[in-house]
């Protein structure tokens, strides 16, 4: 079963040379700086390389982050911060707020910004894989795992590293709690979509599928509510996606709950449940159109033309017709005016983020290496100060060609 996921653009960043002439006083110190520059450049290249896989990404991130930690961690396990933490200015754009960068002279800002992009890459990798026509079981597992890894990275950044920033995060910026929470919840919800697809394919109990769909709809609703106080100019398109997925999985929940009721000889209630499913599906269809018409950051698509959407529409229609036939021939039950209350709790299949930790400090960082950086040799004329309105070029993300059945066009 193919999937369709909304994706915001990657963060863009200014190139960093790590050239500390005079400050790096030994060849070994100069080499570490060169390794930092090369590993950072390589990692940024992989973000937009459509042939990159999770193993390549992990190797590149482990190398860069292990080297970058030398600018952050104290070598003697003391609470004292590293003397190199504020030596370099870093500039990063936001996923939602255009190409004017936010700049901070802080290696922790680089750590969390690059980490954020790594998490985004895992979501985009999952999205590319999930949109394939004939996704295999192993590929579905890769999608599921990648989304859980992304959720784990976002969670780790939010809880352990963003609070260490000296400059507080501005409202509406990527690293702000509301956005971080929404990204975490969205990753969990999308991973559960893969679980639901698998449960349907294996013809699991309709009660379990209904419960999973209901929990997933609640995830999407929670992610949307988290973004509700953000400027619609930035978050409007993203929220349309979260709204339509909420309605879509509520439609799924009522559809499969209807099947459960029918199996329990509650045909009247089953019909009412399917009617409610139809209502949510119609809402989702309207939101699909609104999503396509809403301007803002993110992918451009026509989700109502996607196979995953069309399949549910047929399922609701066929199941409702079956219930109505059964009621007309066998049950003759009254259809309730009120829709059944969904008090469903899934005991299986709920997604938790995979815990994430940054790699250990690279072995090149020794007390002797740190001593080889002499901050008294820094030039007095500090040219690293940011130019406030300087633009950073956006990353050229790989085109994702729409599959025949997907109805998706990625810009």
The predicted-structure confidence for 251-296, as pLDDT tens digits, reads as follows 999 999 999 988 888 888 888 898 999 999 999 999 988 988 888 7
Q: What is the CA radius of gyration of the chain?
A: 25
Q: Where are the beta strands (DSSP E) in 57-194?
A: 90-92, 102-104
User: Where do the domains of the chain lie?
Assistant: 1-203+348-405
Q: Is residue 326 over pLDDT 90?
A: no
Architecture field, domain 1-203+348-405? Alpha Horseshoe (1.25)
Residues 6+ apart with CB under 8 A from 378: 20, 22, 23, 87
Quote the distance between the C-alpha of residue 234 and its chain's center: 16
- The confidence score (pLDDT) of residue 302 equals 60
Q: Which DSSP string corresponds to 144-166?
A: HHHHHHHHHHHHHIIIIIGGG-S
CA pair distance 115, 69, nearest whole angstrom: 12
User: Which of 31-40, 62-71, 122-131 is least confident?
Assistant: 122-131
Asked if residues 140 and 202 have their Cβ atoms less than 8 Å apart, the reply is no
What is the phi/psi pair of residue 166, to 5°?
A: -70, -40
- The confidence score (pLDDT) of residue 398 equals 66
- Give the C-alpha distances (Å, rounded to integers) separating 93 from 27, 40, 75: 33, 16, 31
CA pair distance 5, 187, nearest whole angstrom: 10
Average pLDDT, the chain: 87
pTM score of the predicted model: 0.90
Q: Is residue 79 over pLDDT 80?
A: no
Q: What does the pLDDT average to over 373-392?
A: 68
């Amino acid at each position: 079963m193919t999937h369709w996921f909304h994706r915001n653009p990657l963060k863009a960043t200014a190139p960093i040379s790590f050239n500390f002439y005079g400050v790096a006083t030994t060849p070994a110190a100069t080499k570490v700086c060169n390794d930092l520059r090369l590993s950072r450049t390589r990692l940024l290249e992989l973000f937009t390389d459509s042939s990159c896989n999770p193993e390549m990404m992990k190797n590149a991130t482990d190398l860069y982050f292990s080297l970058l930690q030398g600018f952050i961690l104290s070598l003697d396990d003391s609470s004292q911060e590293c003397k190199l933490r504020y030596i370099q200015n870093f500039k990063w754009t936001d996923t939602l707020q255009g190409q004017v960068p936010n700049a901070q002279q802080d290696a922790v800002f680089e750590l969390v910004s690059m980490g954020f992009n790594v998490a985004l890459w895992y979501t985009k990798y999952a999205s590319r894989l999930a949109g394939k026509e004939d996704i295999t079981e192993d590929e579905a597992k890769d999608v599921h795992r990648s989304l859980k890894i992304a959720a784990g990275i976002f969670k780790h950044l939010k809880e352990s590293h963003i609070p260490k920033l000296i400059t507080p995060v501005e409202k509406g910026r990527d690293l702000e709690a509301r956005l971080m929470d929404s990204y975490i919840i969205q990753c969990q919800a999308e991973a559960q979509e893969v679980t639901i697809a698998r449960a349907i394919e294996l013809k699991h109990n309709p009660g379990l599928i209904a419960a999973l769909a209901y929990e997933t709809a609640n995830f999407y609703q929670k992610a949307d509510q988290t973004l509700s106080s953000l400027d619609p100019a930035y978050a409007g398109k993203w929220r349309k996606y979260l709204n339509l997925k909420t309605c879509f999985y509520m439609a799924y929940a009522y559809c499969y709950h209807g099947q459960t009721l029918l199996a329990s000889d509650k045909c009247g209630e089953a019909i009412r449940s399917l009617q409610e499913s139809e209502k949510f599906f119609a809402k989702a269809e309207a939101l699909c159109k609104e999503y396509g018409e809403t301007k803002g950051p993110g992918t451009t698509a026509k989700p109502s033309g996607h196979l995953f959407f069309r399949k549910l529409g047929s399922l609701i229609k066929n199941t409702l017709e079956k219930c109505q036939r059964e009621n007309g021939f066998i049950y003759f039950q009254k259809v309730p005016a009120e829709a059944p209350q969904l008090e469903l709790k899934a005991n299986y299949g709920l997604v938790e983020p995979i815990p994430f930790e940054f790699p250990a400090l690279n072995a090149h960082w020794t007390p002797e290496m740190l001593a080889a950086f002499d901050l008294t040799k820094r030039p007095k004329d500090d040219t690293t100060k940011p130019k406030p309105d300087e633009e950073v070029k956006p990353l050229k993300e790989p085109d994702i060609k729409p599959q025949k059945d997907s109805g998706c066009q990625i810009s």
